[in-house]
C-alpha cells in the first residue's frame, strides 16, 4: 500500500466565479481527501491565494498538480517535498498583478442559436456586479469596484444611477457585446413592499416605490432601476428575482410583544432561495418538499427556516435582529440601548450607524474584513479570537432557534455567504449544530446565477411572471 501523507499545496488563482468549486472538484475527482482549505484575497482583489492540505501520495499528487494548470483560473501552484519547493507556473500569465478584472472572457462570443441571452445586474455599496448568460451558460462576468470618494460626489444612492449604468454599458461595448442581442435584463430588487417569493416583472408601481426615500437607502434598488432603463430602450422585459423583502413568515413569527412594532421579513432572499434549491436538488427532492435552515453569512447575517418552499421565519439583520455581524450589532438588550439613545451624546443618525454599519466586529476590532481578523488571531490576538468565536456562537444560537421553528425536523443546514470561506468560522458553527442535521457549506454567493435562473424560468415558460402591486 502506498504511504499516504498530508501535503500542503499553495495556489494563486484569478477570482473568477466558481474558481473554488473548480479547484476542489478537481482534487476530489482525482480521489484525494482535502483536510484543510484556506482562501485569502491578495494584491488588488483580483487574485487569491489558496492553502489546501491534501491527503495522498506524493508521486501521484505531483501529477494532479500539473493537470490542475488546465483550469483557466489557476495561475501557479507550489508545494514543498523533501525540503525542495516545486512550482508549476502557467506560462502565458507570468505576472500575477496583471490579472484581468474578474472576467470570464476578454471578448464576447456570438450568441448561440436558440439561446436566451440575459443580462444580470447586482449593485453593492461600493461595487457593481453584472453578468451575461446564454441560457444557463455564463459568457461574461465582471465586478466593477468603486471608490467611496467617487460615489460620495453623487450625494445619494439614486444619484449614482447614470454613473453605474454607463459603467455597465461601457464594459459591454469594450468586449464587443451587442446589447441588441439581449432578451431580458434581471436586476437585484430593493426595499419594496413585502411580497411573495418569485420573479417579478418590473413595472411602474415598483419603480415608484424603489425611488422613494425609504427604498433608496440600499444600493440594491439600483439593480431594478438600471435593469428597467436598459430593457426599455431595447423593448425587452426586465425582472427582479426574490428581492430582500420576500415575506412568507408565519403569523406567529410577527408579534414582538410591543403593539405597533412587528417583526419584518428583510433578508438575503435571493441567495438563500438559490442555495436552498441547490441543496434540495442534490438531495433529490423538490425544494417545496424540504425543511432547511439556511444561514447567509456576510456583512449582514440572516438565518432562515425554509419549510416546504417558504421561509416561515428569519431574522431581520437590517433592523438589528439576530447575531452580531462584521458591521452590525444584531440583537442587543433594549434598556441599555434606550438609555444610550436618550443620553444626549448621540444623534439619531449616529445611533442608527452604531447599530447598522459601524457595529459588530468593526466596532470591536476596527475592521469588517474577516481575513484581517484571522491575521490578528494568527499573531496571537486573544480578543480577536474571542470576537470571532462569539459571532459564530451567536449564529449557532440562531440556527438552534430555527430548528425549534421547524419542530426539530430539519433535512439540512446550509452555510453560505462570504464568511463561509473561513474554515475556522464555519467549524465553530458546525461544532455546536452538527447534531441537528447534515451541514452543507456553499461559500460565497450564487446571486448572479439566481437572477439569471429566475428570468430564464419565466422566459422559457416554466413559471409565470409575478405582478407587483
**Are both 134 and 235 inside the same structural domain?**
yes
Give the chain's residues under pLDDT 50.
1-2, 59, 92-106
Distance CA 405, CA 255 (A): 15
In a domain, 112, yes or no: no
Claim to verify: residue 400 and residue 327 sit in the same structural domain: yes
CATH code, domain with 37 = 3.30.70.260
DSSP state of 143: E
At 11 the pLDDT is 84
User: What span, in angstroms and rounded, lies between the C-alpha atoms of 128 and 114?
Assistant: 29
Residue 424 CA, chain-centre distance (Å), reads: 18
SS3 category, 429: helix
* Same domain for 428 and 307: yes
Residues 197 and 280 in one domain: no
Host domain of residue 177: 117-242
Residue 460 within a domain: no
Residue 178, in any domain of the structure:
yes
Q: Which residues pair with 117 in a beta bridge?
A: 134
Residues 6+ apart with CB under 8 A from 152: none
Within a domain: 251: no
Q: Are residues 168 and 30 in the same domain?
A: no
- CB count in 10 Å sphere of residue 149: 7
Residues 286 and 234 in one domain: no
Q: Is residue 89 part of a domain?
A: yes
Number of domains in the chain: 3
Same domain, 235 and 274: no
Is 0.85 surpassed by the pTM of this model?
no
Q: What is the C-alpha separation between 447 and 339, in angstroms, rounded?
A: 40
In a domain, 458, yes or no: no
> CATH code at 274?
3.30.420.40
Quick: pLDDT tens for 73-100. Answer: 788 888 775 566 677 766 543 333 333 3
Residue 364 lies in a domain: yes
Cell of 354: 452604531
Q: Is 353 helix (H, G, I), strand (E, B) or coil?
A: helix
Q: Are residues 313 and 185 in the same domain?
A: no
Q: Are residues 87 and 123 in the same domain?
A: no
Per-residue model confidence (pLDDT) at position 428:
95
pLDDT reported for residue 438: 95
State the cell numbers at 36. 484543510
Which run of H or E residues covers position 303? strand 301-307
Q: What is the spatial distance between Cα 184 and Cα 230, in angstroms, rounded to a whole number?
A: 9
Asked whether residue 238 falls in the same domain as residue 345, the answer is no
Q: What is the distance between the alpha carbons of residues 251 and 263, in angstroms, rounded to a whole number?
A: 10
Residues 286 and 411 reside in one and the same domain: yes
Residue 169 pLDDT: 93
- Tell me what pLDDT residue 5 has: 67
Answer yes or no: do 139 and 283 share one domain. no
In a domain, 454, yes or no: no
Domain boundary among 63, 98, 133: 98
Amino acid at each position: 500500500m502506498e504511504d499516504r501523507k498530508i501535503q500542503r499545496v499553495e495556489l494563486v488563482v484569478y477570482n473568477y466565479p466558481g474558481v473554488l468549486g473548480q479547484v476542489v472538484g478537481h482534487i476530489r475527482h482525482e480521489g484525494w481527501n482535502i483536510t484543510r482549505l484556506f482562501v485569502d484575497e491578495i494584491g488588488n482583489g483580483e487574485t487569491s491565494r489558496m492553502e489546501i492540505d491534501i491527503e495522498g501520495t506524493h508521486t501521484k499528487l505531483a501529477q494532479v498538480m500539473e493537470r490542475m494548470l488546465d483550469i483557466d483560473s489557476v495561475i501557479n501552484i507550489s508545494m514543498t517535498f523533501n525540503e525542495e519547493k516545486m512550482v508549476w507556473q502557467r506560462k502565458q500569465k507570468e505576472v500575477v498583478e496583471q490579472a484581468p478584472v474578474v472576467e470570464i472572457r476578454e471578448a464576447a462570443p456570438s450568441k448561440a442559436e436558440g439561446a436566451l441571452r440575459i443580462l444580470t445586474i447586482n449593485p453593492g455599496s461600493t461595487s457593481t456586479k453584472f453578468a451575461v448568460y446564454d441560457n444557463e451558460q455564463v459568457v461574461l462576468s465582471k465586478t466593477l469596484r468603486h471608490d467611496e470618494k467617487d460615489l460620495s460626489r453623487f450625494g445619494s444612492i439614486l444619484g449614482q444611477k447614470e454613473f453605474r449604468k454607463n459603467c455597465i454599458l461601457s464594459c459591454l461595448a469594450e468586449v464587443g457585446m451587442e446589447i441588441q442581442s439581449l432578451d431580458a435584463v434581471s436586476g437585484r430588487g430593493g426595499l419594496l413592499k413585502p411580497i411573495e417569493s418569485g420573479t417579478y416583472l418590473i413595472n411602474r408601481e415598483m419603480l415608484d416605490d424603489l425611488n422613494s426615500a425609504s427604498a433608496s437607502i440600499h444600493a440594491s434598488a439600483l439593480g431594478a432601476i438600471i435593469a428597467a432603463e436598459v430593457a426599455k430602450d431595447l423593448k425587452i422585459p426586465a425582472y427582479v428575482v426574490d428581492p430582500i423583502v420576500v415575506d412568507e413568515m408565519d403569523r406567529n413569527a410577527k408579534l414582538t410583544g410591543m403593539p405597533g412594532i412587528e417583526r419584518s421579513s428583510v433578508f438575503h432572499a435571493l441567495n438563500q432561495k438559490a442555495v436552498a434549491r441547490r441543496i434540495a436538488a442534490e438531495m433529490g427532492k423538490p425544494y417545496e418538499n424540504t425543511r432547511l435552515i439556511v444561514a447567509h453569512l456576510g456583512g449582514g447575517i440572516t438565518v432562515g427556516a425554509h419549510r416546504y418552499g417558504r421561509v416561515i421565519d428569519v431574522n431581520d439583520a437590517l433592523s438589528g435582529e439576530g447575531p452580531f455581524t462584521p458591521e452590525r450589532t444584531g440583537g442587543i438588550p433594549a434598556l441599555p440601548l434606550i438609555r444610550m439613545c436618550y443620553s444626549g451624546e448621540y444623534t439619531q443618525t449616529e445611533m442608527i450607524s452604531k447599530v447598522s454599519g459601524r457595529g459588530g466586529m468593526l466596532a470591536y476590532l476596527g475592521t469588517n474584513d474577516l481575513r484581517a481578523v484571522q491575521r490578528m488571531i494568527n499573531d496571537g490576538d486573544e480578543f480577536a479570537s474571542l470576537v470571532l468565536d462569539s459571532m459564530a456562537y451567536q449564529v449557532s444560537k440562531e440556527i438552534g432557534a430555527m430548528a425549534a421553528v421547524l419542530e426539530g425536523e430539519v433535512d439540512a443546514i446550509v452555510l453560505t455567504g462570504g464568511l463561509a470561506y473561513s474554515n475556522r468560522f464555519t467549524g465553530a458553527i458546525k461544532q455546536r449544530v452538527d447534531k441537528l442535521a447534515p451541514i452543507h457549506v456553499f461559500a460565497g454567493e450564487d446571486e448572479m446565477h439566481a437572477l439569471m435562473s429566475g428570468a430564464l424560468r419565466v422566459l422559457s415558460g416554466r413559471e409565470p411572471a409575478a405582478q407587483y402591486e
